[in-house]
Amino acid sequence: MKLQHHRLNADGIALHYVTAGDGPPLVLIHGFPQTWYQWRHVIERLSDRFRIIAPDLRGIGASPGPASGYDKHSLASDIRAIVEHVCGDRPALVVGHDMGSFVAFAYALRYRALVKGLMLVDAPPPGTTLFEIGKMQQRAWHIAFHCARDVAEMLVAGKERAYIAQFVAARIYDGSAISEADLDIYAAAYRAPGAMRAAFEMYRSLERDAELNRAALAAAGKIAVPVVAVTASVGRNEAVRASLEADIAANMTVIGVERSGHWVSEERPDVLVEAIIALAEDVNAGAK
């Protein structure tokens, strides 16, 4: 597997992304507190099947960002600039995890004709019933904390690695899946000037994201392409499917992943790879 690192200036914003492989486009969008690097095991397993594009979101890692513009529809426009540069108007499979799931959903809403299939990994999009319920749960304490502008930055400054390590540990099943060296890589990315603020601003835009998502769904209807939700909440597949199908998608599948916490791409990349291949096959079968 040969990874290539690139930079693209999109409307004055320097965006970093990684590519690998050849074939139909597959876009992998990371979450918090990660970077493109969270997809390393997935990229290794799929680079012989797809032209993989894995960006760093605006403001994170090697993509330094402005003070504003962190609603997920704006971030989706960044991703579109990258995908267009790499693949033109070829429709892509789009996969997002955590915060990246929100961006992937916004991408599918904004660029419907350019999305062949969508996968949302362990994060229902803002504006859905599941998201509204989930953000009120005790385990979602971090949303309110991250939304406390300046306070969150002040308390985490100089403690980025410790905070990221705690954040990961609280949501992991297989503690060996993300090593100390991996945590060092993530901490270095979020220790960069402005990176943690950019990440927090993504949380501060969640209410705006919900408004934009609802408006897009009201204007153009549910997403028509196959949508797969991957969740670590095993045993709730049918309830999750019914809720998301009612809110966002006409063709909805849910996959529950056993023996995994929130970090599915690193804890169970084998399952995620199988799910991506199955989605691609479903899309191809439907196109015949």
User: Which residues have a Cβ under 8 Å from the Cβ of 73 and sit 6 or more positions away?
Assistant: 106, 109, 110, 209, 212
DSSP label of 237: H
DSSP state at residue 125: P
- Decide: 277 and 49 in contact? Cβ < 8 Å: yes
Active site residues: 98, 203, 262
Contact (CB, 8 A) for 94 and 115: yes
Please say whether the beta carbons of 240 and 248 come within 8 A. no
List alpha helices for the chain, DSSP H.
40-46, 72-87, 99-110, 129-134, 141-146, 151-156, 160-169, 180-191, 195-204, 206-220, 237-247, 264-267, 269-287
Q: Is 82 exposed, middle or buried (0-12, 13-18, 19+ CB in 10 A)?
A: buried
Rounding to the nearest 10 degrees, give the CA dihedral for residues 22, 26, 31, 34: -10
Contact at 8 Å (CB) between 260 and 271?
Answer: yes
Q: Are 93 and 275 in contact (CB under 8 A)?
A: no
Contact 57, 78 (CB under 8 A): yes
Q: Measured between alpha carbons, how far is 39 from 46 in angstroms, rounded to an integer?
A: 10
